Amino acid sequence: MNFELDSDQKMWQRIVRDFCDAEVKPYAAEVDETATLHWEAIRRMRDIGLLSMDIPEEYGGIALDTVNIAIAMEELGRACGSTALSVAAHNGLGCAPIARWGTPEQQARYFPQLMDGEHLGALALTEPGAGSDLAGGLRTTAIREGDEWVITGDKAWITNVSLAPVMTVLLKTRPDAGTSGFSMMLVEPETPGVIVHPPEKKMGLRGSPTHMITFDHARVPAENILGEEGRGFQQTMSILDSGRIGIGALSVGLAQAAFEEAVKYAGERRAFGRAIADHQAIQWMIADAALEIDAARLMVYRAAWLKSEGKSFSKQAAMAKLMASEVAERVSRNAIQIHGSYGYSREFPVERIYRDQRLMTIGEGTSEVQRMVIARRVLQEMGDPVAQAENRTPTPA
C-alpha cells in the first residue's frame, strides 16, 4: 500500500495548482461579485486539458483517470468554488456521458465545441418536482413523431446550460414503462421550443450559471438518443456515482482554502497579549480541520483509485462525497469563527467559501441520499438482514 501520489500525479498537481494560483484564485472574489465566470481563465484551461479531462485522446482530449481528475478538482475548488463547479459539471456531467455512450458522429459533432474554451457542457436531470426521487418524479417526455422526438417538460437547476452547445437530458421515451422508459437525449439549447430561463439568484457559487429550462414541443432528430433507449436511469446512476468523487474533491479543495485562510489569520490576529493561534480553543479548531481534511482527502482518493482500477466504487464514492462535503461545511464554519467579525465580511475569502460550500451537501445527491446509498450497500454486503427476517431471497451484494 502506498499513500503517496506518484511523480506524474505530483507533476499534474503542480501544473494545476500553479495555473489556479495565477489565473483562477486572484479572480474568485470578482467572479462571485459579478456572477460571471472569468473567461480568460476558462480559455486558458483548454491549453492544459482542464476542459477535456473526460474527452478521448482521438478527439484531442486528455482522457485522465479518476485520481488525476480528483487532483485537478481539489485544486480548482481551493481556488474558486464557482469556477470549480462549472468545470466539474462540464467534464463529469457534460462531456462524460457523450464520451461513454456517444456515437462517433455525436462525439465528432460536439467534442470540438465542448473543448474550445468558449463553451461548457451540461446535464439536465433535476426537475421542479423531482430531485432526489428522479425515479418517482420525472415528468419530461419525448414522443416519437416520424424521424423526430418531440420534447415537453421542465428542468430545474441546470448548471452551464446557457454556455452549452449541447446538453444531455434525462427524459421518458416510454411514459408508462417506469424507469425502463427513461432515456438520455442530446438537445442543443438553441433548438426552437427550448427556453433557457434567466439565471437563478443563488446564495453562493454565483459565478456558475444555473438555469431552469422549459421544453415546449422542442423537436430533435431521432438519432439524438444517447446510448440505448430505455437505459437512461442506469446511465444517470452511473454518472452520479462518478460525479460524487468530483464533488468530494471539490469540497476538499474548498475546505483546504478555508483552512489556509484561517491558519494565516490566526497567526496574525492578536488577543489577550498573544496571537490567537496560541489559544488552545483556536488550536483545537485548527487540529480538527487538519484531521478532517486529511480523512476526507484520503476517502476521495480511495474512491477515485477504485474507479480508476475498474473496481466497484459506488459506496466509497457516496462515503467520500458525504464526508468531504460535511467537512467543508464544518471547516469553513470554523474558519469564519476564527476570523471573528472579519469572517462575516465580504472583504475576506472565508465568507465566500462558506456560501460556496453549502451546495456540496445538496448537489449530485444530498447527504441524506448518500446515506441511503451507503446503507443499502452495507445491508446487501451483510447478507440483507431484512430479507432474511422476512424469509425472502437476499439481494446480492
Contact residues toward ligand FAD (CB under 6 A) are 89, 93, 123-126, 131-133, 157-159, 202, 205, 210, 359, 362-366, 368-369
CA pair distance 286, 350, nearest whole angstrom: 15
- Shortest distance, position 397 Cβ to ligand FAD, whole Å: 22
Q: What are phi and psi of 149, to 5 degrees?
A: -105, 140
- Shortest distance, position 127 Cβ to ligand FAD, whole Å: 8
Q: Which residues are CB-contacts of 304 (< 8 A; sequence separation ≥ 6)?
A: 65, 66, 67, 69, 70, 245, 249
> Are the C-beta atoms of 305 and 295 separated by less than 8 Å?
no
Query: What residue number has its CB nearest to ligand FAD?
Result: 131
- Shortest distance, position 33 Cβ to ligand FAD, whole Å: 17
Q: Closer CB to ligand FAD, residue 294 or residue 368? A: 368
Q: Closer CB to ligand FAD, residue 250 or residue 285? A: 250
Q: Closer CB to ligand FAD, residue 87 or residue 124? A: 124
- Shortest distance, position 318 Cβ to ligand FAD, whole Å: 13
Of 40, 188, 364, 381, catalytic: 364
CA pair distance 388, 385, nearest whole angstrom: 5
- Shortest distance, position 389 Cβ to ligand FAD, whole Å: 21
Residue whose grid cell is 506518484: 6
Q: Closer CB to ligand FAD, residue 165 or residue 363? A: 363
Q: Closer CB to ligand FAD, residue 315 or residue 355? A: 355
Whether 326 is catalytic is no
CA pair distance 337, 279, nearest whole angstrom: 14
Q: Closer CB to ligand FAD, residue 37 or residue 262? A: 37
- Shortest distance, position 279 Cβ to ligand FAD, whole Å: 36
Give catalytic residue positions: 364
